[in-house]
Amino acid sequence: MNIVKAASIIIKDKDGNFFIHQRNSNKKTFPNLFGIGAGGKIEKDETKKEAAKRELFEETGLKTNLKYLFKIKYKSESYMSEMNVFETVTEIKELNTDNGEWQWSGWVKKEEINKLLKSNKLCPDTAMFYKKYIGK
């Protein structure tokens, strides 16, 4: 089984709210589930930080400073991924999310993410890195 290397960016605003999105229903992986921030595959010729910057811009229009947090591996029945998790903070509330990947996106408090986690509405890989992020 090949390992897909990915960059995931947790996006927060200055008040501590999280930017989340709901994946389109036609997505092959995790349709209709929620993800935190932005992210995607690290291309062969990219560093993890370059990929994080590219994915962040492609999916939200943001060009902000990134802080590397940790690496975590996720394994499902169909694939394995190595996620390099970053964090960024922005004052911009209106993000450019017309990327064709999400059916909804917006800002929520940590408590809302915890409710999504508890009701299994987060993408499983997102749930894994979120638990590590909050220290569970």
Count: domains in the chain: 1
- Distance between CA atoms of 97 and 113, rounded to whole angstroms? 19
The per-residue pLDDT for range 4-24, each reduced to its tens digit, is: 999 999 999 999 999 999 999
User: Would you say residue 1 has pLDDT above 70?
Assistant: no
**pTM reported for the whole predicted model:** 0.94
Instruction: List residues bridging with 40 in a β-sheet.
Output: 7
135 is written with which tokens? Answer: 């220290």
Q: Which residues form the domain of 98?
A: 3-134
CB atoms within 10 A of CB 66: 17
Q: What is the CATH number of the domain that holds 25?
A: 3.90.79.10
How is the chain split among helix, strand and coil, in percent rounded to 5? 25, 40, 40
Confidence of residue 28 (pLDDT cuts 50, 70, 90): confident
- Residue pair 37/9 in contact (Cβ under 8 Å)? The answer is yes
